[in-house]
């Protein structure tokens, strides 16, 4: 299970070192990165991505929502490889999508991890805390 919150910077163009605790949860070197929600990048272990994909494919393509979700999920996903130093290169299209610049937050989200622009992550977590404290979410 992916847990924790980590801050890092790029070590080259689009290249980051994944935190050790995140790497420990990966079954292999292949990672699937894709468009997430709220302007972040989702990262999945290959096995977990295949499980998520299977769930999406179980819903009939005759349902409009299912078609939209499939297009979003599959068109925005790419396979990357973890190198011997624990680094990955994030495709530029995903960096642009999530507006990730230089300071990066990597967070555990259970079955996947998320890559955020650090400023965006701080704003997002503050919003969650405010909504929780105001009783808008429980």
Residue 29 lies in a domain: yes
Burial bucket for residue 9 (CB in 10 Å: 0-12, 13-18, 19+): exposed
Pairing of strands 103-108, 15-17: unpaired
Residue 86 lies in a domain: yes
Q: Encoding tokens for residue 94?
A: 């995903």
Compute the radius of gyration of the chain from its Cα atoms. Answer: 15
Supply the pTM of this predicted model.
0.92
Residue 138 lies in a domain: no
What is the CATH number for 74?
3.40.1550.20
pLDDT of residue 132: 83
Look at residue 62 and tell me if it is in a domain: yes
Per-residue pLDDT of the chain in tens (138 residues, 90 and over written 9) = 999 999 999 988 899 999 999 999 999 999 999 999 999 999 999 999 999 999 999 999 999 999 999 999 999 999 999 999 999 999 999 999 999 988 999 999 999 999 999 999 999 999 999 988 887 776
Domain span at residue 99?
5-133
Please give the tally of structural domains in the chain: 1
* Block residue for tokens 């999508």: 97
C-beta of residue 26 within 8 angstroms of C-beta of residue 82: yes
Give the pLDDT score at 135: 77
Q: Does 38 fall in a domain?
A: yes
Q: Rounded to whole angstroms, how far apart are CA atoms 59 and 56?
A: 6
E strand residue ranges, the chain:
5-9, 15-17, 30-35, 41-45, 78-81, 87-89, 103-108, 113-117
Q: Is the Cβ–Cβ distance between 113 and 121 less than 8 Å?
A: no
């Amino acid at each position: 299970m992916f847990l924790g919150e980590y801050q890092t910077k790029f070590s080259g163009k689009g290249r980051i070192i994944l935190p050790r605790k995140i790497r420990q949860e990966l079954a292999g070197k292949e990672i699937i990165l894709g468009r997430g929600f709220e302007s972040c990048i989702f990262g999945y272990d290959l096995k977990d991505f295949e499980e998520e994909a299977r769930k999406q494919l179980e819903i009939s393509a005759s349902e409009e929502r299912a078609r939209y979700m499939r297009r979003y999920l599959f068109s925005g996903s790419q396979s990357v490889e973890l190198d011997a130093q624990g680094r990955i290169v994030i495709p530029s299209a995903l960096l642009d999508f999530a507006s990730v610049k230089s300071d990066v937050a990597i967070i555990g989200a259970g079955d996947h991890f998320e890559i955020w622009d650090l400023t965006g992550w701080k704003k997002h977590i503050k919003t969650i805390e405010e909504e929780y404290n105001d009783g808008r979410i429980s």
